[in-house]
Structure 1
Amino acid sequence: MPHAEDLDAFWELLRSGASGVTEVGDDRWPGQGDPARPAAVRHGGFLPQVDTFDPGFFGISPREAVEMDPQQRLALELSWEALEHAGIVPGALRGEPVPVYVGVMADDYAKLRLADAGDDPDPYAQAGTQRALIANRISHFLGVQGESMAVDTGQSSSLVAVHLACEALLSGRATAALAGGVQLNLLEETALMAAKLGTLSADGQCYTFDARADGYVRGEGGGFVVLKTLARALADGDRIHAVIRGTATNNGGSARGLSVPSAAAQEAVLRQAYERADVDPAQVHYVELHGTGTKVGDPIEAEALGAVLGRGRSSAQPLVVGSVKTNIGHLEGAAGIAGLLKTVLMIRHRSVVASLNFAEPNPAIRFEEWRLRMATAAAPWPGSEAEEPLLAGVSSFGIGGSNCHVVLSSAPVPPAGSAASEPGASSRAGVVPWVLSGRSAEAVAAQAERLRARVESDPALRPADVAWSLLHAREAFDHRAVVVGSDREELLAGLGHVLPVVAGTDPRVGVLFTGQGAQRVGMARDL
């Protein structure tokens, strides 16, 4: 089953047009292989081994870890990886007013534990199953003291979390923020309830904007982003993947029903987002749809896009749209962050990937009139040959009418002489060290293997750049190893023979002056 363990794997899944939707295995819900089960319930985008976790890495006892919602565990892992990807040493944030916002709506594990607790609940169970603690766990582990919120606005939760992080940065309450979302589908009854509500696709596929659209297929996973103001990121020399130009949220108010989307509200949130971003909607190249593939929701979303982004646009340059839900299913509480990450990756690679399962346009969507076109094949970003920034939008809507839209653009080219444009040590020749560390010797060996695979997959990586990142952008743990070499091949060979040692609690520097040479065997061994 295809699934994405990191950003590179996620991009490969998207670029290749692969689907992560499959039938659920018996290890998740026993008996699901029974063909008598509805396909809507049997299919989904599932992560493997959601029960695995390294509690010691996060300073959590094994007994407490058992009582933790796996969504808490996943959020800890993803937030750590996001910081490392951003080149921020997590330990350096301790005591800083960094806010954490996590979109989450599922509580399957709490229901499972409640049913299993009987008359003797574990004392760790309450903290382990409270959704509020998904964000609080991260803040506690990192030692950060900004706002810490679990955000639940239904299926728009994780994109609303990004919106709140942007507001915190713009207000000056923070200089950096963590935002994201997680979703794990652990309880069969939750899927059955969605199927009875009629929101799931009968054959377990998501047909966004297609004539076959009859509901979505459920998915699970998560993602996090590290956010700073553009000025701060440029000053810090950060690698900027994309710029959030503006965000907006609203609610449908008195729509036709609590669970029925409002075209007027969606149109309003789009207008507000582009006004805040100071972006002409007619200049936007791509929008990542909420795109659930439902009979009611798809035409309403398309109409709102046509009213705001279709106006002033020629038929020769329609708005390109797509939905990541066709690849990985609807991540519900984490759907918005999945769509955001997909769009950021497309901007970074300057290409649009295919939205799957589109064969015949939905007759209720007036594609020509509303100037819309589905991305049915991988292609260069529309107008990417021009010097203007690439512009995109991301939508996410909650079942109760909580709407969110985010406006993105490509990152500016760093000015000459800035920290981000300087090669630094990359241009220097000579021997360089690759420093590795981990919580255990096994962890160091595993990191060496991952590093070797990463460097072998990217010939453009320069040894000195890798050395700098390992020294300055990763946490230093007690178990350490170092590989030295003067070229790429020597360093890669050394990664296969790392010998971790435990760093002393009181490290000291020793200097040896040997004079003309060694005077006797074993000289200076005591030192």
Structure 2
Amino acid sequence: MTTTMLTESKRQYVGSIKTVCGHTEGAAEIAAVLKGSLALQHKTIPPNLLFNQWHPNVQPFSEHLAVPTQALLWPVVAPGQPRRASINSFGFGCANAHAILESYEMAVPDSPPSSNPAVVTAFLFSATSERSLNAMLSAYAAWLQQPFPASSAVNLRNLSYTLHARRSELSVRAAIPATSSVETLTQRVASRQAQGASARILGVFTGQGTQYMYM
């Protein structure tokens, strides 16, 4: 669970998440990814616990290595260059992994994004029964057909996010794809109501490797 923070200079900061949370066995890589991701996000190199000095076997190779014992601001990188963190994980049962993470700086748009009719978005509706689901679809179809003032027009991206992340996922569901157009979504909702088809099993995942039923 070692993370190496790469900077402009020749010095490389090395740390281990194990000194903070112990051995996480098969989840070692996930712990290291979380640590590296947060370090990149907050532009901060996290401190390492319980480090006093290099092991004699490592000392000859430690000229350009540093183990921070307190949080450090990430050194400034050249314009256009991402911050990087190299992760090496040697987990329980040979769960070994290596990854290089890069920072991502989101560009701030000059103006709000406009609707793109070519973008397909998924809208997830769910209810406790088919009848309740159809009633919900009817309500949404009626709501979408209302005349909205320009200042409060429906943002389909926000609607898709709300349906997916801010609503309970109940047993009867309908996922409706539509382009970024209220008219298109309304037509798809009406079409789904007309079909009234019950869900069918498409496939069954059998597991991986040594997984088996009733194991």
- Taking structure 1 as the reference length, the TM-score comes to 0.21
Instruction: Answer 1 or 2: which has greater helix percent.
Output: 1
Pick 1 or 2: higher relative contact order, CA cutoff 8 A, min separation 6.
Answer: 2
